[in-house]
Structure 1
Amino acid sequence: MALDLEKLAKVWSLATRGVGGECDNAMAIAKAMVERHGFSVADIPDLLRANEPDPFEEMMRDVRRRAEEEHRRAEAEREKKAQEKKKHQEARKAARDKETAWRRAHKRQVDEIIKRCGGYDKVFENTPDEQRLVDAVAPWYSRVERPEYGEGCYSETWDGKESHDQWTPRTLDALRNALPMPVNISDALTEYKKWEAILAERAMVARYKRKGDVELQPPVRERRWLMSDLVAWGLPANNISDLMIRVQFQIDRDWNDPKEQEVVLRDLARIQAAHKSDLEAAAKAAVQRTAEKPKRRKPAKTASQRRAQVEEILASSEGQELTLRQIAERVGVSPATVLNVKRRGVTCSN
């Protein structure tokens, strides 16, 4: 086994720098280690000096190690960038493929919209109802240039309020009066869906033509919000159908407004009260009909007595409105008997 110079260096350090027994023990161990290989204690400094690394070689090894580490880091960074670039390219390709598939699926629908409107530009023109809304608030419209936001920037206000602000009472009244206001939830939902359908068609055409996003004009958007509020909480739900429309609309809108929960409770209380009143009225009418129902005559004991009762009923004004079966049930005879009595009476009168 070769002499372990590293272990010898540690033992020799204790032998030369240790204290007391530690120094003596280390010296003994060092002596035993070198003598096994034909050396003496006097040779230890030379052996250790020969094993010391060359400073220049150490420096070069350190330089090479740092270069290799830098190379590995650079390779890892290039690989990471290559992977990210590949993922980005794949995502862009997937997005293009998705958009191509969407355009292929909606081409016919877009063509129909453009044809119905009379051209691409006509799709984005105001409908008559939209123009009425825009004209209704035109007296309060103003456009202010905003150069601090960049060249060509401006802001639009209606009665001093921008489109995202709460509109003033008089502008809201103008929008309410521009078109007939719905009187029930179903009508309000119909108008809301009308604005949604217009926006959806324009967005579809703009996306197909790669023209960017579109939006309804602010007065139209505000009217749409008015309809939304009417459906969600503004109008009373007078029956279960109205309430189902309201709750479904609230679910679809995915809001969490305590006011909407309160209005549902209010509607339920109103419907419950109305239902209770209807039940009470129906029960009262049933009792009244039962009281007014003619009592069945006590059946006569003999056939001649029963014929006499039939003749009496036929001769009365009430009997003129009864059917043969109804008279037969009252007297307790067959409809054929009633018919025979009626025929005999007609014959006798002639």
Structure 2
Amino acid sequence: MSEFNLHTPVCDLLGCAHPVLLAGMGGVARSDLVAAVAEAGGYGVLGMVRESPELITQEVAAIRSLTNHPFAVNLIPAATEARLLDAELGTCFDLAVPALCFFWDVVPEAVARAKKAGVLVLHQVGSLAAAKAAEAAGADVVIVQGVEAGGHVHGTVGALVLVEQVARAVSIPVIASGGFATGAGLVAAMALGAEGIHCGTAFLATAESFAHDDHKARILAAMAEDTVFTDAFALNWPPNSPVRVIRNSVTDALGHDLMGHHPDRLPHEVIAQDGGKPLLKFSTDSPLRTTTGDLEALAAYAGQGVALINDLPRAAERLAAILAEAQIALARMNRLTHAKPGAME
């Protein structure tokens, strides 16, 4: 069987071989995972949301000790205190990071500062309006997140509609995000007008991910209907910031009241620790390798694509499986479109 070419123009822009991006998951997408994805031909994004300049420096050095391939650093200007954001950006520029990936509200000043420093800018958005704003601000790539996504979700529209809608409206490359975890998903995204996919849950469930083993085990056990959309995990983030997580004792106790939880009205109860830092019930913190305490009550982020994840391979194996599945999906489509009318497949 001849192979189909999966290399898209955005691969040349980013400097990767395959159009599969690692989501810059805070806490989870650390240097080991970023380097593993990059070495396998994908595109790694380092999750450094509201982290110190010292940790950014440490993690970037670790990536560069493991791979020579380009990568991005994920920051969230709209949810980061101004002085910390200034320090994070300055550190990334000093380190000559090749690209930055922004998320949440478009902050044109942050995009402009990155572009002035000669840095490639990817921007994750959750609506058509935000995609247009990112393009107008100077972003080079827009990552379009459907409501199926795990973690923080900044929109309400499913990826099937939103990705095609944005692809029709912007001139910069579009990457699809939210529920994309397999090769068939990659093919579907490309059919909608995207040039690649952005995967969180699929790479969280890998050996190199910095997520706690308990979080990974829950992903393997979960189905799509086990994920819930809620703003209950609101501490440490701006109000009205919903997330998708695997249901747990916290969400079960809420019953049908999954929305409308303002951080100012939530209790501050310490339930876990990470590196000496107390973690609160209802916080945005997820369980990491270094976390101890009541792991079950913490936010176990996962998208609806969790239904398609049933193993815990190394990141390179996950990427290889996605690419192999894409070839199978394309071959199947090729057979269907070339079938004679009335012929049996």
TM-score, scaled relative to structure 2: 0.18
Choose between structure 1 and 2: higher helix proportion.
Answer: 1
Which protein, 1 or 2, shows the higher relative CO under an 8 Å CA cutoff with sep ≥ 6?
Answer: 2
